[in-house]
Structure 1
Amino acid sequence: MIMSNSCLDISTIISVFVLLSLFSSVFSSNDFREENESSMPAGEKLNAMEMINAYLRKINKPFVKSFKSPDGDVIDCVFFHLQPAFDIPELREKMSLSLPELPKGHDHIAGNNLEIKQLWNSKGESCPNGTIPIRRTSASDIISISKFGKKYSRKDIPGKSSHEHAIGYVDEGEFYGAKALLNVWKPTVIGNDFSLSQIWVLSNIRGRLANSVEAGWHVNPSENIDGLPRLFTFWTYCISSITAYILKLQPNGYRSGCYNMLCPGFVQTSRTISLGAAISPISTYNGEQYDAAFMIWKDPKSENWWLKVGNEVIGYWPASLFTDLRNHATLIEYGGEVYSGSSGKHTSTQMGSGHFPDEGLGKAAYARNLEVVDRANNLNPASNLQLYTDKPNCYGVTKGYGGVWHNYIYFGGPGYNPKCL
């Protein structure tokens, strides 16, 4: 058993998996044909390919039914008890089949898109009872995420991070969850960049970020060339008995976190929503706006961290995955993030709608009805909301209060422009 109070990079635990970083240019979604020539020795390349293929065989589970989505995704209906989380014996032994206790006041605010819609089941398809829909993982999924490395929050940005943020946040008190309505856009994303809108639920111990659970939508053409917004989750951990087990299963460069169900951890209960699949409808500039409610909260009974999107309870992160988040969160964030690995001039990847927040409703991205969950499982307005942006001339953020939106922010921007070089 490996125990620690500090978050560690996986590469410091299992050095053999740094092979992944050596063949980032050597893949395709099906058979790893080379996109570019690589100087990696043939033996190391073959070893890396074998590792990834072995991992794909482990993470892609047997299915009873499969759907081919119009956007090219393959959605497999996998028996609930065979999902990746239950590769971990301790999680399998403690699986929860009880419904969580929803926070009080969870249903008092409506959005324009209460029921989240996905392309794969747009004609009414669904998985059979006892199964859950899992987007089939490809080699490009694993390698694409490995390039991005660890996601960062406002409190955890290294000196020369390739991640930029425009967010609202609250960091005074104990938090047992968060909720926000995020409107959905299709920002233009350049090359291997990504752009997202999300909520963060984090623990910040003595200025050091330890655990987080996160959810929202992102656009990541490295995984999906259609550039559609897709539902995603992300979580980070410190080393515990369970995460030490995960490290043994995970030949990748996720560093201290994991997207969706690309490694064991998140337990899905919904049979109608697939993490990583495209969502709709999409907001249009100076036109109709569509949003969805994202809520993460700690169930008082099980102490697991649950996710609800729109009207659908998606599943939970078991409390035993975490160290600091076993108790409560200390930092909540809402807003956008852009990743760009490019050098030279600033990326032209857009955040949100691609327009600055001062353009307002119908033109800028927003997160509205910003709320937090207290110890008594009540939803309350996010008071003392503060703002942060890495480069305000590239991506901005403003805040306001009023009407049915209560606390809200506008955020985003075009990236490269005459003031953002």
Structure 2
Amino acid sequence: MHTDRTTMSSSSPPPCSKSYQNLTIIFIFVVFSSFLSSCSSSSSSSTTTTPHFLSNSDIHHPQQNQTFLRPVDELQKLKRIRQYLKKINKPAVKAIQAISPDGDVIDCVPSHLQPAFDHPQLRGQKPLEPSERPKGHEYFGNATESIQLWAISGESCPEGSIPIRRTTEKDVLRASSWRRFGRKIRRMRHDTMSSDHEHAVAFVNGDQYYGAKASINVWTPQVTNEYEFSLSQVWIISGSFGNDLNTIEAGWQVSPELYGDNYPRFFTYWTTDAYQATGCYNLLCSGFVQTNNRISMGAAISPRSSYSSKQYDIGVMMWKDPKHGHWWLELGPGLLVGYWPSFLFTHLQSHASMVQFGGEIVNTGSSMGFHTSTQMGSGHFADEGFGKASYFRNLQVVDWDNNLIPLNNLHLLADHPNCYDIKAGKNDVWGNYFYYGGPGRNSKCP
């Protein structure tokens, strides 16, 4: 249309009769009317597209109507996102561009400037010294311990700084709601079938718990779409499964929405009100205080296990410091990552009432009457065993006297056993262990 109009205006009109001129005028009027109608339709349909920038002439169009309200709102949204990014991405003393396929940029941020210290009760403070580890703590590791992709190049952050995965505008725009970026969707109680969150977990309850430990097999499960995730983690839980639920969580997850890819990534989470308004993943809000300059929360894990081949796992331990009451996190062979200050919580200020180990996925197909093919663990059922099914091993809890002890009365729960299941055992090498997971959609899980 633009080309036709340019041609018409740049050429000299030929001699013509009055009737021909009238037809030309009518033709131009019809085409121009069609053009306006097309513009209006296009503007209307753009309300469902991704955000885009507009020039001032676009915003201050003479026809100020509802067609242009959404683009203005999108500009406001982008402005708020950039303010959030400025708050989260702290000034760095060094930036490390990962040479690995994950493409992460790791910022080395002075430890006293990390997001945790934006919290009113932490402002102006510095990270605490490491806590006393639980008694009986030993590392059940071997040569199969996984590390993080960004560190493979040998780069590291200087002493006095911590490595933080840089959050980008694209990261935030991928979220279903930018206000919920970095937060889990609230999950329902495990014994209901009304949630799209599905689990295969082992758990203990009925006592007072002050921590937990496990080695978690690392895989790369397939996730059907960006609004689903697959994770394997340890939960430290207190309170009911109502609005007062307190949890701290750590493990690995595949989350295309949060990270923009399908790599398994080390992560943490916390909430004090059942995932409603408090808490977040990793360091995406003020809360968790990181002390380690070698581990980046949210960074990709490497290497990963593969079917009928070599297996890799990560050790995770969380426990309550007897002296200050904070909840500390250790990864792998003695790497203290940091702590959750006790004042963040209500029930967890004293102790936990439940510990869970296992897998969780989101199934977005439930509302449409079918199950998606998002995998849990390795994507294979528990019966397939070592090298094929995913596992947790050396499960332990911490008692009131800061002792690591074996589990008693371990319970198993698979809320959709035809999609994902779980099977436990015990031996002298692995202690308490279990296999778990599954493929999601299959002939018995339609």
Shorter-chain TM-score range? 0.7 to 0.9
* Contact in 2 for aligned 1:165/1:389 (Cα 8 Å): yes
Aligned counterpart in structure 1 of residue 246 of structure 2, from 179, 188, 211: 211
Question: Which structure 2 residue ranges, 5 or more long, are not aligned?
Answer: 1-46, 55-66
* Secondary structure at the counterpart of residue 199 of structure 1: strand
Give SS of 1:91's match: coil
Q: How does 1:296-375 map to 2 (within 5 A)?
A: 296-311=318-333, 312-342=335-365, 343-344=367-368, 345-375=370-400
Distance 1:262 1:143, change over 3 A: farther
- Deviations 1:185-232, CA, capped at 9 Å, x for gaps: 011111111111100001034876521000000111224454111000
| TM-aligned CA deviation for residue 257 of structure 1 | 2.9
TM-score, with structure 1 as normaliser: 0.83
Displacement of 1:111 after TM fit?
4.4
Match of 1:139 in 2: 169
Matched to 1:189, the amino acid is V
Partner of 1:377: 402
Aligned partners of 1:119 and 1:279 also within 8 Å = yes
- Match of 1:228, as an amino acid? Y
| CA-based RMSD | 2.6
Q: Shift of residue 281 of structure 1?
A: 1.4
Indicate conservation of the 8 Å contact 1:201/1:214, yes or no.
yes
1:204/1:366 Cα in 2 relative to 1: closer, same or farther (>3 Å)? same
Higher relative contact order, chain-length normalized (CA < 8 Å, sep 6+): 1
Q: Which moved more, 1:274-283 or 1:135-144?
A: 135-144
Q: What is the deviation of 1:288? A: 0.9
- In the other structure, the counterpart of 1:12 is none
Judging changes above 3 Å, is the alpha-carbon distance between structure 1 residues 268 and 398 closer, same or farther for their aligned structure 2 residues?
A: same
Displacement after TM superposition at 1:103 (Å) = 0.7
The one of 97, 115, 119 equivalent to 1:88 is: 119
Contact kept, 8 Å, 1:182 with 1:367, in 2: the verdict is: yes
| 3-state SS of paired residue (2:256) | coil
Distance 2:232 2:252 in 1: 6
The 8 Å contact of residues 140 and 222 in structure 1, kept in 2 or not, is answered as no
Aligned partner of 2:93 among 48, 64, 85: 64
Which one has the largest radius of gyration? 2
1:13 aligned residue: none
Amino acid at match of 2:358: G
1:175 corresponding residue in structure 2 = 209
> CA, structure 1 residues 146+279, in 2 after alignment: closer, same or farther (shift >3 Å)?
same
Cα deviation, residue 157, structure 1: 7.0
Contact (CA 8 Å) 1:183, 1:365: kept in 2 or not? yes
Structure 1 residue 280 corresponds to structure 2 residue 302: yes
| Contact 2:190-2:415 within 8 A present in 1 as well | no
Structure 1 CA distance for aligned equivalents of residues 306 and 251 of structure 2: 18
The aligned counterpart of 2:50 is: 26
Q: Superposed, which structure 2 residues align to 1:389-404 within 5 Å? A: 389-404=414-429
Counterpart residue number, 1:185:
219
C-alpha displacement of 1:155: 3.6
Which whole-Å CA distance do the structure 2 matches of 1:125 and 1:24 have between them? 42
**Other-structure match for 2:59:** none
Q: Trace 1:81-160 onto structure 2 (pairs within 5 A).
A: 81-93=112-124, 95-114=126-145, 116-144=146-174, 150-151=184-185, 155=189, 160=194
The alignment status of 1:293 with 2:293, answered yes or no, reads: no
**Relative to structure 1, is the Cα distance of residues 365 and 98 closer, same or farther in structure 2, using a 3 angstrom cutoff?**
same
Q: Is the 8 A contact 1:27 1:140 kept in 2?
A: no
The Cα offsets for residues 110-165 of structure 1, whole Å up to 9 and x where unpaired, read as 34444x41111102111011111000012343454556863566746765312111
2:407 and 2:170 map into 1 onto residues whose CA distance is 38
Contact conserved, 1:154 with 1:165, CA < 8 A, in 2?
no
Instruction: Read off the aligned partner of 1:414 and give its amino acid letter.
Output: P
Q: Is the 8 A contact 1:354 1:413 kept in 2?
A: yes
Three-state SS of the structure 2 residue aligned to 1:120 is helix
Q: For the structure 1 residues 223 and 75, does the alpha-carbon distance in structure 2 shift closer, same or farther, using more than 3 Å as the test? A: same
Question: For residues 334-369 of structure 1, what are the alpha-carbon distances to aligned partners after superposition, in whole Å with 9 as ceiling and x for unaligned?
Answer: 000111334432010100000000101110000111
- Gaps in structure 1 of 5+ consecutive residues: 1-22, 33-37, 240-252
In the alignment, which residue of structure 1 is the partner of 2:290?
268
Task: Give SS of 2:215's match.
Answer: strand
Cα distance in 1 for partners of 2:305, 2:401 equals 35
- 1:172-196 alpha-carbon deviations (Å, 9 max, x no partner): 2000001010010011111111111
Letter matched to residue 335 of structure 1: G
Deviation at 1:24, TM superposition (A): 9.6
Distance in 2 (alpha carbons) for counterparts of 1:179 and 1:198: 11
